[in-house]
Amino acid sequence: MTSIHRSAYKHGVTPDEMFHAMRLHLRRFSNGNMTISIGPDFSGNLLEIGTFEEGDSFIIVHAMRAQEKYLR
């Protein structure tokens, strides 16, 4: 199960866009304790989605348009 923390809504990304980007991720890597997934929204814009793993579940804590540093 995946839940969304209120901090993930800060940049206006919708829950559907967050899940879409995670499902179709192009890259995924660890950034300390957080996992960052880079994937497209419905228009093809790349998003960065930050998650923490909690047992068998994930919590999305960060979502925004992908920063240049993640696109290199």
pLDDT in tens, 41-54: 999 999 999 999 88
Query: The pTM is what?
Result: 0.91
Contacts 24+ apart (CB under 8 A), 31-39: 34/61, 34/62, 36/62, 36/70, 38/66, 38/70, 38/71
Residue 49 pLDDT? 97
Q: How confident is the model at residue 35 (pLDDT cuts 50, 70, 90)?
A: very high
Q: Of 23 and 70, which is predicted with more confidence?
A: 23
Q: How confident is the model at residue 72 (pLDDT cuts 50, 70, 90)?
A: confident
Decide: 29 and 17 in contact? Cβ < 8 Å. no
Report d(CA 68, CA 48) in Å as an integer: 10
User: pLDDT by residue (tens digit) across 3-22?
Assistant: 999 999 999 999 999 999 99
